[in-house]
Structure 1
Amino acid sequence: MKNHEIREPAVLITAAERMQIDASGLTASDSVIPMDCLSKRELQVVHKIMEGRSNKVIASELFISERTVKFHCANIYKKLNISSRSALIACCFRTLYREVVSL
């Protein structure tokens, strides 16, 4: 039986990458989703994604086609300047966390 070794780089982020992030001015508070820019249907799709639903299930539950769900997802990603479902979920959790902390 072979032993598999996982090697990770000693440095997770380089100094150059850190300077680029600092120069862009991105902080955790900047990553809060502006929910008011989404339509009512897009918000429904976001909630279904947060529940872990697939596009097929979302389509069935909202009585729309799977292609329409994909269209809404593309619009959501564009409006929020993200590129994936996991980025959407992460941003939603950050937004919810910030709202809870500010209470």
Structure 2
Amino acid sequence: MLTSVVAGFSLSIALIVAIGAQNAFVLRQGLRREHVVPVVLTCAISDALLIGVGIAGVGSVVAARPDLLTAIRWGGAAFLLGYAALAARRAWRPSALTPA
């Protein structure tokens, strides 16, 4: 059992530590000193939730209830569209990141 715990913990750390879009966003918010606590809490809770859902076996739940897959798909699409709209807005109104 200890081997599984270490493997799961290592994989979780590897996913969180890698500098990706989410970590870059958190770093940017921290440097700008804007909404740091809500951003960090949202990201930490989201990561924990996604890891928990993965561990709980969402695949077996979706296999048992295929209608949930449609809801998950549309929820994911809505999230990505919202995120894309925010990214487009930032692209149209660029601002420089100044740590000072």
Which interval holds the TM-score relative to the shorter structure?
under 0.3
What's the TM-score once normalised by structure 2's chain length? 0.28
What's the TM-score once normalised by structure 1's chain length? 0.27
Q: Which one has a bigger Cα radius of gyration?
A: 1
Higher helix content, 1 or 2: 2
